A and B are shown apart, each in its own frame.
Chain A
Amino acid sequence: MKTLVYIDHFKGQVQPAAWEALGVAKSLGDAAAVIFGSGLDALTNAAFEFGADEVLIADDPGMVDYSAEAYAATLSALASSRSPDLILLPTTSRTRELAAMTSIDLNTGVLVDLTGLAVEGGKVVATRPIYEGKLMEKTVCSGKPIIATLRARAFPRPAQEKNRAGSAVKVEAKTAGLSKVEGYTLTEAAVSVTDASVIVSGGRGVSNNPSLTPPAGMDEKQTEIWRAQQGFKLVGELASVLGGAVGASRAAVDGGYIPYSHQVGQTGKVVSPDLYIACGISGAIQHIVGIRSAKVVVAINKDPDAPIFKVARYGVVGDLFQILPALTESFKKKLGK
């Protein structure tokens, strides 16, 4: 099988799931990596090191910012000239658009956010969660090439082989977009919840520390948010010791405690970490479905009847404001940090 793997990146920072996609493509046969942007030498080398034998590069100052239309046009043209059987992309906010648009250009279909991909009798059979993981479906695509996006952390990441080389091929960049990027406000989050192998999450409970005295002059809402931010500091400290990301429940996001990009659950992000620590999260079904594929779930909650304990492997019934600092200290010691 001949596969093009789209390496999604933001200003040179690769979405790690792109390397996972490259690993899948290599296991299916002939795999070429595709990279768009400007100044791509480091990325090209990384693609060789993660296993690409060939890297197709559209390197053009006009491609420096992701543009849905320009990138789709470039990918479609490339697919038309190379005739792959399969185009693989990691599932990200950009690639859903890119895959969608390219599918229209090439009159084919998209198998999106897969957790499994197999070739059965020469046919690509995809497995994906639907109804936010309440069900799984196997799907096939009758178009060619088949376009598929792979969920982060659902496939093994290939080992990086230092100084591995291959052939780099320049391809034509189609730079005509329909919109213009005016700027960015970037979040400081070191690790995004989708890629994280460890997530420490806070819910409404993080705002309930009675022992804190808020600064004078705050109204009720400001006080609540201030309290929650103190709570999220504790969540963040544990996350940082574990090298993980900070997540949040919808209640915490709706309460204005933390930006939406941290939200885990049905209306936020579906995550698959190895370890998920839920702090002060009651465990609404909409949150639970978002952490269904977490390997080990730990719940810390005052309420012994909170539904989160039903899906947790380990539970602590207690005050998170006392447990979290103790847990951070304990991990610091054991992990030698």
Chain B
Amino acid sequence: MKIIACIKQVADSEAKVRAENGQISWGDAPLVINPFDEYAVEGALQQKEAQGGTVTAVCIGLESAKEALKHALAMGSDNAILISDPTLAVLDTQGAAHVLAAVIKKIGGVDLVVFGRQTLDDGSGLTAAQTARILGWPMLGLAGQIKIDAQSLQVERVIEEGRQIVSTKLPAVLSVVQSIGEPRYPSFMGIRKASKAEIPTWSLSDVGISAPAALVSRIELITPPSRDVTCEIIPGDSPAAIAETLTNKILAEKVL
């Protein structure tokens, strides 16, 4: 089984993100592997363990994104490829999907591509399905459980109404949710191996495409006004008294 895990590097979830001169600033918060993509790597590694084969982590980004790839290697991925090109400065989701589809074709012989359900930064959750559509492969989104038997793939998708069991044939594209299982911690050996790894960088000409034109663009960035709420602590001598005061306060808000 040749498995690809598509990952992205983002600012840490604790980062205080702000708009500064029309640019996004996350201060000195560290850049990390997109937390949703850790589940993608975990899902990919589970299938590698069950089926044999290799996991290759792929990331579009700047040189710094090699750190996110090293995390995927430390978790147990076999290979990592950084896709980096100055012409990729402005990239929307369908652009990213075109690049990833071309990379997957160039790698060749891929059975399974695993994405996280969305990124922490843009949060669109579109790229997996767009990549699948470009490749012409089946898309099984929001998988919470994956079973592979020979060339057939069965997943349990976590949807609004519960779980849906869907089957298809490989090759296929998946996105996974956290029911897949907590991402493993990198082992000591894994971290050592990752720190020494030479991660290849592919430019767009290496991939054999030119930069896709962006169709979606940002025209303004807004820092939402901070919500100044003062918390009113409800007093009372007994749970019943507190409950009654709180009930009256909530009813007065007219939100019910």
- Which of A253, A260, A316 has most chain B Cβ within 10 Å? A316
Chain B residues with Cβ below 8 Å from A285 are: 13-14
Interface: B94 (CB within 8 A): yes
Interface: B233 (CB within 8 A): yes
Interface: B63 (CB within 8 A): no
Complexed CA–CA distance, A131 and B182 (Å): 22
* Closest residue of B by beta carbon distance from A289: B13
- Which of B18, B157, B220, B250 has most chain A Cβ within 10 Å? B250
Chain B residues with Cβ below 8 Å from A323 are: 239, 242-243
Classify the secondary structure of A's interface with B: mixed
B interface residue count range (under 10 / 10 to 19 / 20 to 34 / 35 or more): 35 or more
Interface: B189 (CB within 8 A): no
Binds A, one of B64-72, B81-89, B134-142, B202-210: B134-142
Q: A132-B120, A266-B13 are in contact. Are A313 and B229 (CB under 8 A)?
A: yes
Complexed CA–CA distance, A110 and B167 (Å): 27
Give A290-337 interface residues, CB cut-off 8 Å to B.
292, 295-299, 304, 309-319, 322-323, 325-327, 329-331, 334-335
Q: Mark B132-155, 1 if CB is under 8 A from A, else 0.
A: 111001111110100000000010
B225 to chain A, nearest CB (A): 10
State whether A141 touches B216 (Cβ < 8 A): yes
Interface: B168 (CB within 8 A): yes
Q: A93-B160, A110-B216, A299-B231 are in contact. Are A135 and B223 (CB under 8 A)?
A: yes
Interface: A41 (CB within 8 A): no
Binds A, one of B42-50, B54-62, B104-112, B121-129: B121-129
- Out of B141, B167, B182, B242, name the residue touching A326 (CB < 8 Å): B242
B248 to chain A, nearest CB (A): 8
Interface: B24 (CB within 8 A): yes
Complexed CA–CA distance, A85 and B188 (Å): 55
- Out of B126, B161, B216, B248, name the residue touching A187 (CB < 8 Å): B161
Complexed CA–CA distance, A179 and B141 (Å): 11
Q: A110-B93, A138-B222, A316-B242 are in contact. Are A97 and B216 (CB under 8 A)?
A: no
State whether B231 touches A314 (Cβ < 8 A): yes
Interface: B73 (CB within 8 A): no
Interface: B78 (CB within 8 A): no
Complexed CA–CA distance, A179 and B127 (Å): 19
State whether B218 touches A312 (Cβ < 8 A): no
The number of A-B residue pairs with CB atoms under 8 Å apart is 264
Binds B, one of A100-108, A156-164, A210-218: A100-108
- Out of B93, B124, B220, B227, name the residue touching A311 (CB < 8 Å): B227
State whether B216 touches A260 (Cβ < 8 A): no
- Out of A143, A177, A198, A330, name the residue touching B240 (CB < 8 Å): A330
Interface: A118 (CB within 8 A): no
* Closest residue of A by beta carbon distance from B122: A130
Chain A residues with Cβ below 8 Å from B51 are: none
Give B140-195 interface residues, CB cut-off 8 Å to A.
140-142, 144, 154, 156-168, 172, 177-179, 182
Chain A residues with Cβ below 8 Å from B247 are: 327, 330-331, 334
Chain B residues with Cβ below 8 Å from A184 are: 161-165
* Closest residue of B by beta carbon distance from A68: B139
* Closest residue of A by beta carbon distance from B229: A313
Complexed CA–CA distance, A319 and B242 (Å): 11
Q: A96-B125, A313-B231, A316-B234 are in contact. Are A108 and B97 (CB under 8 A)?
A: no
Q: A109-B92, A179-B138 are in contact. Are A143 and B215 (CB under 8 A)?
A: yes
Interface: A137 (CB within 8 A): yes
Chain A residues with Cβ below 8 Å from B123 are: 113, 129-132
State whether B13 touches A178 (Cβ < 8 A): no
State whether B162 touches A261 (Cβ < 8 A): yes
- Out of A109, A140, A299, name the residue touching B219 (CB < 8 Å): A140
Interface: A33 (CB within 8 A): no
* Closest residue of A by beta carbon distance from B243: A326
A–B Cβ pairs within 8 angstroms, 15 of them: A112-B125, A132-B120, A135-B17, A135-B221, A137-B222, A178-B137, A253-B178, A260-B178, A266-B13, A267-B35, A298-B246, A313-B229, A323-B243, A326-B239, A334-B247
**12 further interface pairs, Cβ-Cβ under 8 Å (given A100-B128, A109-B94, A125-B219):** A99-B126, A127-B222, A131-B11, A178-B139, A179-B139, A185-B162, A267-B35, A295-B253, A314-B231, A315-B233, A316-B233, A323-B243
Please list the residues of chain B having a beta carbon within 8 angstroms of any beta carbon in chain A.
Answer: 11, 13-19, 24, 35-36, 92-94, 97, 120-130, 132-134, 137-142, 144, 154, 156-168, 172, 177-179, 182, 215-224, 227, 229, 231-234, 238-240, 242-244, 246-251, 253, 255-256
Please list the residues of chain A having a beta carbon within 8 angstroms of any beta carbon in chain B.
Answer: 10, 13, 15, 68-69, 72, 92-94, 96-97, 99-101, 103-105, 107-113, 125, 127, 129-143, 177-187, 192, 194, 197-198, 242, 253-254, 260-261, 266-267, 274-275, 285-286, 292, 295-299, 304, 309-319, 322-323, 325-327, 329-331, 334-335
Please name the 4 residue pairs, one residue from A and one from B, whose CB atoms are nearest each other, closest first.
A109-B215, A100-B129, A178-B138, A326-B243
